Structure 1
Amino acid sequence: MDSTTGIFFWGFLIMYGIVMFLLSPKTVSLGGFFKGEDKQGRAANPWMITASIFIAWIFAKSVTNAANMGANFGIVGGIGYAMYWLCIPLTGWALYRLRRKFKATGMISFLTEHYGIAAAFCFSAAILVRLFNEVWSNTSVVGAYYGASGSAPFVIAALLFTAITVGYCCWGGMRGSIITDVAQAILFAVLLIAVLVWVVPMHDLSDFATSGTWTLGGGVDFIIGAGLQCLSYGFHDAVLTDRGFICEERKMLKSFTVAGLLGFVAIVLFSLIGVHAYLDGMSIAGSSAPVVVAQSLGIVAFFMMAVIMIATAGSTLDSTFSSLAKLTARDL
């Protein structure tokens, strides 16, 4: 990109950081920092939790993978990747049962009480690996919009983005994470609609619906595998399970159900960007479908895609850091 465009891209990243700091309230209470309570000690609004779960799972790497699946397997690939989001209602139901039947107040305390310290420690170790994975996978996606992998712009963008997120997470904790998640969810929805309005009219809707082949080799095997993983996948994610204990049980279950269904729809819709590449015969070898498609549409589309990735990566990263803080400073 030329110098003017580069300044615009870097300027947006800095402005994004400023806005996130302005939105995130300074949290000084334990309940606010670790459980998302407001200044009066009230639990987070269920609809805020719904938005937080929704956007925290619509992370940069996931939407990139969804588009790549669409580019390789058509709509079958997009539906296959979206299957993972159905684990959110299943996880919500399981957490509802834990809270109602066993009076659980958290995953680590529940495991310690019923299975011992060793079980809780091993579970925490697995969760820490997952949280580490969330950090590098999302920052690398953001970095890719600023330079080639491993280049100086790539590394600087990834480090700057991480520093911004760590900063406002230390400032606002879980409460700040939930509030900024709402803003990031709105930004994602608006830009996703804008991109789809741009891309979808390039083909008949029937072309999108019939793309790919409904065979095991065409992606159905992935749908089956994702469906099986739904039974346990949600419990590997502290971001998800932490939000299962911060409001009343029935409200929590409703939040999880709505967030999971919205996430499924959003991922299928985002995969249409990859399906567009599939229908046009675009090659994504060595790159990603969102990058290739955005570049083919011009600098405006590329910028919009970069903003989508920053918003989705930020929502996951701030939730990751707030969950990491709770796991290490409180649970363990």
Structure 2
Amino acid sequence: MHPILLMAGFGLVVLASVLVAPRRASVEGFFGGMQETGRAPGLWVLVLSQVTTWIFARSLMNVAILGYFYGIWGVLAYAAYYGSFLTGGLIVDRLREGGAGSVQDWLQARFGAVGVTAYNVVIALRLLSEVFANLLVVGLIFGAVLPDTGLAHPAAIVTVAVLGLAYSAWGGLSASLRTDVVQMVIFLVVFLAALLALVTAPGFEIGAVLTAEGTSGAWNGQVLLLVAFLQVFSYPVHDPVMMDRGFIADRATTRAAFLHAFWISTLCIIGFGFFGIQAGLAGAEYEGQLLGTWAAMFPAWVFAALMLSLLVSALSTLDSALASAARLVVEELRLAPRSLGAGRVAMLAFMGLGAALTLWGNQSLFDAVAVSGTASMFLAPVLVVGLIMGREVALWAYLVAFGVAMLGAVAYFARDGLFAAILPEAHKYEQLLLICIAVLVTGFAAVLTGARQRA
């Protein structure tokens, strides 16, 4: 019965999203998020939008899988990335204090076109990975609930891609902000119902969950926690969805929004991780992305609620990623005039590429986080020295930090191929930790060498 309920519930979410999207689209609303009255979004619109775009389907699946294998340490490792709201809020406030209207503005003033281009390459890859990963989860969900229907996986991906593109392309960022609020409220209701069912179930013990070491032991979860701490300063800056929302309201509202988004999203991600931990404690066998495991563990309505919460988060992140993609192509890269048509074409291109990558067959989820997080680490020394310390950083030093970070990302991605002979024989997360340390040490060495006091 739950496949029908799931599809009906998701259909209602899509319908609600279409109904709350703005009826009239304007260029300022499409790219800048302005309401029809010309006002910036309020505090809780911004908070709920930030939270729902960061509690995306890939993250929910990742934290549950890490909780299954590495227990509470795996969950804490992934939750540590949500400290990005604190570091990202600090960086946005410092940028705005200096008069910058975006990360690109700040980079342009210090490193010119070369510096901005390097940054835009990273965030374009990030946006593409967001579309790909969330569509991938959609395909996995429908493949799990309709296992006997061979076309369920590709049909679901194409359907959600088309529906998400339809209302996103109508209103851009203003549509994304408004639908985020509705989608976040629905997500919280559905998710909290499932969480309540979990914690009140006879076999659930909070003490066991909080001390669980997972089916594979706690060590790799602890390693990932260290990786998260190394990446958490730079990680938010390469996420244009978060950064775009940092420049559309006044500074006081923005600071409060980042703070509230931090504690709400962190609690939600830890709560969702409990489902993975409990699956490990119950001795359930791991079946493809944990979905098959949950289907066997929980009552049909709980499983359907979990799947619906994943679908809602996927839809929310897709529309936000598309809005940021349009802004990147039109306002930052200036590849097309600032018009509704140009923004919609950019959205279509990113959705098409992301769907193609998903249908191609790649199934990796956490690797996308690890690769993009490593690539973003060139920003850490540049922002610490250039923004926080207020020193001038030479262009060559910026490019060295960028080159090393990209090399590190490629090394992790090709750890079983081209870089297998260079990396030590160890678990992939231990290899990732060593790569991150090498990237940061080299990047800071270059930036500090090429830094001088601002005249």
Deviations for 1:22-68, whole angstroms, at most 9, x for unmatched residues? Answer: 11113422221111111121111121111111110000010001011
Deviations for 1:230-270, whole angstroms, at most 9, x for unmatched residues? Answer: 01000110001000100111211111111012111111111
Q: Structure 1: where are the runs of 5+ without partners?
A: none
**Structure 2 counterpart of 1:111, which letter?**
L
Q: Structure 2: where are the runs of 5+ without partners?
A: 334-455
Which residue matches 1:106?
102
Number of residue pairs the alignment of both structures matches: 326
Shift of 1:16: 3.0
Which residue matches 1:167?
166
**Structure 1 counterpart of 2:129, which letter?**
N
Question: Is the CA contact (8 Å cut-off) linking 1:294 and 1:305 kept in structure 2?
Answer: no
Structure with greater helix percent: 1
Deviations for 1:167-225, whole angstroms, at most 9, x for unmatched residues? Answer: 11111211110111111111111112111111123322211122118x87252111111
Shift of 1:290: 4.7
Which residue matches 1:92?
89
Matches within 5 A, 1:5-20: 6-20=3-17
CA distance in 2, matches of 1:276, 1:87: 27
CA distance in 2, matches of 1:328, 1:249: 26
**Structure 2 counterpart of 1:46, which letter?**
L
Question: Is the CA contact (8 Å cut-off) linking 1:48 and 1:179 kept in structure 2?
Answer: yes
Question: Does the alignment pair 1:242 with 2:249?
Answer: no
CA distance in 2, matches of 1:67, 1:32: 36
CA distance in 2, matches of 1:295, 1:22: 36
CA distance in 2, matches of 1:131, 1:290: 25
Which residue matches 1:306?
307
Question: Is the CA contact (8 Å cut-off) linking 2:139 and 2:153 kept in structure 1?
Answer: yes
Question: Is the CA contact (8 Å cut-off) linking 2:26 and 2:171 kept in structure 1?
Answer: no
Highest RCO, 1 vs 2 (Cα 8 Å, sep ≥ 6): 1
**TM-score, normalised relative to structure 2:** 0.68
Which residue matches 1:56?
53
Q: Which moved more, 1:25-34 or 1:316-325?
A: 25-34
Matches within 5 A, 1:1-332: 6-100=3-97, 102-147=98-143, 151-201=150-200, 202-212=203-213, 217-285=219-287, 287-332=288-333
Question: Is the CA contact (8 Å cut-off) linking 2:79 and 2:270 kept in structure 1?
Answer: yes
Q: Which moved more, 1:242-251 or 1:16-25?
A: 16-25
CA distance in 2, matches of 1:74, 1:243: 33
CA distance in 2, matches of 1:175, 1:272: 34
CA gap of 1:164–1:92, structure 2 versus 1, over 3 A, is: same
Q: Which moved more, 1:12-21 or 1:63-72?
A: 12-21
CA distance in 2, matches of 1:311, 1:216: 31
CA gap of 1:325–1:225, structure 2 versus 1, over 3 A, is: same
Identity within the alignment, %? 29
SS in 2 for 1:38: coil
**Structure 2 counterpart of 1:208, which letter?**
V
Q: Which moved more, 1:317-326 or 1:33-42?
A: 33-42
Question: Is the CA contact (8 Å cut-off) linking 1:27 and 1:175 kept in structure 2?
Answer: no
CA gap of 1:216–1:8, structure 2 versus 1, over 3 A, is: closer
CA gap of 1:200–1:263, structure 2 versus 1, over 3 A, is: same
Question: Is the CA contact (8 Å cut-off) linking 1:211 and 1:279 kept in structure 2?
Answer: yes
Runs (4+) off by over 4 Å: 4-8, 148-151
Shift of 1:296: 2.4
